[in-house]
Chains A and B, each alone.
Chain A
């Protein structure tokens, strides 16, 4: 610590960000609570539930595409894709670096003293591979759209139930999240220096920017829609909630 910094009086305890009406613990606490709860749920489903969350025309996003055989829990084949995408997502990086790692917990707050900080240059360097997670996620998203379309058809009839509605809302929210991705924004046009030289890319970039501005919102909303969709279909498949429409 330099002499100049040693001369400073201690920081005030009750730090208030004037740009936010919320206390500074609110954001990290929420991240830890909701992301932590969802991760626990994901771990339970992925490693311990051997029953596919497949019921009538409904198929959970955790278990799609369905992989034959029951040796491993069905979600284990699938969840590495969204897990990798969200782990390396530029928004979730903020969420977990603030919420779980306190790097920093909130702006201008004192960070607990730990070893040297390396940012994303050592352990976290894999975050630079976000684009590859995005490519695979786009493929999985296409499969989820197919699942959603298929859920409108059951035993030779048009069908619409709560599960269909959830699956529909879920793919829309997941698409808004996926196609607002920063790596996608770079890929479609952001990598160009002369945007005006590539009209189509310019338009695509503009469109992705609309979603990208709200990437935080779509990241959270789509997490909850995945959760709700899976929970509903999983409870149905375990016979834990009544359905009444078919047997």
Chain B
């Protein structure tokens, strides 16, 4: 499939309006969609706005929608597509220009999550903390997140229903999970989960997991365990009674 010419349609515009503009791009073996977009920028449209940094699927900057599907441009080989490829900006976030969107809402959401909070005893402990491999293994998966926000883009709660006021989105569900499952963290974020983080808005349809370029099991390992922990506190009368009895005995 090497060395063919593809018709690359790129969204050009700003919040006032815009349209798809098609460019013919010569391709080479091993080329990714970001290469093609950058070829357009350097040969045809120097004013084309596109955000990227690493070209190694690690900085999370080049998120876009290729043929309508959220993906990192730098991780999308041209050979996986036909002779006509469309590239659009992420749908869920406000457009700035061309392929660049304003993802700052995500950083605001992040500030509303209580950060890592060790217990008083652990804070007073002068020894270096030891963490066992088993405990590291479980939470390290969430640390792989590169904050590309593709999961936020595809999540239908944010994307189709626009409910940014009701749900923090999958990226922040796994951030909460990484803190909640941390053996040295003493905070309880279950009220946050049920309340403003809105874990109940997620209906486990798993699109976030489908698009995550880091292959994080966002739903199975993050959101579902968080729903279960929330259920411990709010939906489990048996646990509630057992807890009361235990405390009564003490």
Q: Which residues from chain A sit less than 8 Å from chain B, CB to CB?
A: 2-5, 7-9, 11-12, 15-20, 90, 93-94, 97-98, 103-104, 107-108, 110-111, 116-121, 124-125, 128-131, 182-183, 185-186, 190-191, 193-197, 202, 212-213, 215
A4 to chain B, nearest CB (A): 4
Which candidate, B23-31, B48-56, B68-76, B241-249, is the interface stretch facing chain A?
Answer: B68-76
Chain B positions 189-234 with a Cβ under 8 Å from a chain A Cβ:
198, 200-207, 210-211, 219-220, 224-225, 227-232, 234
Distance between B226 CB and nearest chain A CB, rounded to angstroms: 10
Once A17-B210, A182-B228, A191-B228 are accepted as A-B contacts, the answer to whether A125 and B69 lie under 8 Å apart by CB is no
Sampled A-B contacts (23; CB under 8 Å): A9-B18, A9-B20, A11-B68, A15-B67, A15-B68, A16-B69, A18-B69, A18-B76, A97-B203, A107-B154, A108-B65, A110-B160, A121-B200, A125-B200, A129-B235, A182-B220, A182-B228, A186-B225, A193-B181, A193-B183, A193-B185, A194-B132, A202-B134
- Interface size for B (C-beta < 8 A) is 69
- CB of B235 within 8 A of CB of A128, answer yes
Complex interface: stretch among B8-16, B38-46, B107-115, B140-148? B8-16
Q: Which residues of B contact A104 (CB under 8 A)?
A: 156, 160, 205, 207
Closest CB-CB distance, B149 to chain A, in whole Å?
A: 14
What chain B residues lie within 8 Å of A15 (beta carbons)? 67-69
User: In the bound complex, how far is the Cα of B134 from the Cα of A190, in angstroms?
Assistant: 12
Per CB-CB distance, the 10 closest pairs between chain A and chain B, nearest first, are A196-B132, A107-B207, A119-B201, A186-B228, A4-B94, A194-B183, A121-B200, A128-B235, A4-B95, A111-B160
Q: Smallest distance from the beta carbon of A187 to chain B beta carbons, Å? A: 8
Within 8 A of A (CB), among B151-179: 154, 156-157, 159-161, 163, 167
Whether the Cβ atoms of A108 and B207 lie closer than 8 Å is yes
